[in-house]
Amino acid sequence: MSFDPDDLWVDAIQGLNHVPPKQKRRIYRIAIVGAVGFSYLIDTLLLIIFSSTGTIHSIAPLVYGAAGLGHVAIFSTLHWSGFSERFANRQMTAWQMAYAVGAQLLGITFAPEIATFFLGILFIIFAFGSLRISFHHALVIWFLSCIAISITLALNHNVKITLSHPSKAEDLLISISFALILLRTIALGYYGSLIRKKLYERGLSFEQQATHDPLTGILNRRMLISTIDEQISLYRRKAIPACLAMLDIDRFKSINDIYGHAIGDSILKSLAEAMHMTVRESDKLVRYGGEEFVMVLAATDMHEAELLMERICQEIAQHSWPALPAERRITVSIGLTEILPRDQASDPIARADQALYLAKRSGRNRVVTTASPIPDALDSE
């Protein structure tokens, strides 16, 4: 499914949670058309005031207001019917810009005395359009608009296109008109900055989903290889040691079977939080799969890593879990290995997995390193 920019705002619409997403998108697009209609209303009211002072003919606000109503009616219908969804740009921005430019040309034709007012509104139109269309399409519309404006002004060459000796009331109206044009342009700029912010937040969200486990919030398995590669590279270049520990919750299946998967998930989340608080910021904690976790311990030799893992193992065994009965304890088995400069990323994972297997077979609730002797119980097998 392709990304729809309208989705940046659709979820923020209040009171429409029961409405299907497609309908919510249509409602949002109609709301944008409504905002455009409100802009037409502001300009129509200003034209009515200009007309009341005798500056322009009284037909001008009627024509311009009708054009504004037509804009709202046409594009709202196209959005509500779903016709606009046939276009790559579902807001039909280019078409709305073309219509709005045409409305300004009508304004110049019927009220040439304040042609600069309508020319100023073009800044609002292009500020609106630049949020949705490509630079190439904006240039095309700009070029065609310039031609259309030149023709319109040429056709009205016998009429003054500006006020030669405006009255004080007209001066005030002109000042108010351009102040409102500037205010709407600023509002569109602010709206554009909100879009950029939401796009940035959406990008962070996608990155979070791609690199982090949704249940525990820690790194997911796909990040493990690159993390190990970084440590191997550091070891090769600067002889900085690193270790990898693979941790598995003992008899976790029985927890899910007896207490349910919801309790099991809460245990996984709590355990991940506890381990994340224990390791340093430079270390990486990864959910490897199911109830297995991997820790990549940066700038840590084997002795330091073993002490840390022993402490984690003991703390987990002594910890009480609110979601479980007081007598039920959780233990973990840990396989530990050193990351070596000759390693490929898969090598320390394989060694830690083998050490974890030995920890499980030798009684659980313990740390076994690749250098640890194999327990007697296993020698006899």
Question: Under DSSP, is residue 285 helix (H, G, I), strand (E, B) or coil?
Answer: strand
pLDDT of residue 326: 81
pLDDT band for position 298 (cuts 50, 70, 90): very high
- CA distances (Å), origin 44, targets 27, 66, 149, 245, 309: 25, 9, 20, 71, 74
pLDDT of residue 378: 47
Taking the model in full, what pTM does it have? 0.56
Using a pLDDT cut of 90, give the percent of the chain over it. 47
* CB contact set of 268 (below 8 Å; sequence gap of 6+): 215, 216, 249, 287, 291
Q: What is the mean pLDDT of residues 179-208?
A: 70
Q: DSSP class of residue 163?
A: -
pLDDT of residue 2: 47
- Among this protein's residues, is 291 annotated catalytic? yes
- Range in 61-75, 173-187, 191-205, 271-285 with the lowest mean pLDDT: 191-205
pLDDT of residue 63: 96
Q: What is the mean pLDDT of residues 15-30?
A: 76
CA 333/CA 76 separation, integer angstroms? 63
CA 381/CA 374 separation, integer angstroms? 11
pLDDT of residue 202: 64
Asked if 305 and 336 count as a contact pair (C-beta separation under 8 A), the reply is yes
What residues pair up with 296 in beta bridges, in sequence order? 244, 284
Catalytic residue among 113, 291, 306, 338: 291
Helices (H), the chain: 7-10, 21-52, 59-81, 93-110, 115-129, 135-155, 168-211, 224-238, 252-259, 261-278, 302-318, 346-361, 376-379
Sheet hosting strand 242-249, strand order edge to edge: 284-289, 292-298, 242-249, 332-339, 367-369
Ordered by where they begin, the domains of the chain are: 7-211 (no CATH), 221-379 (3.30.70.270)
pLDDT band for position 160 (cuts 50, 70, 90): low
CA 217/CA 287 separation, integer angstroms? 9
pLDDT band for position 295 (cuts 50, 70, 90): very high
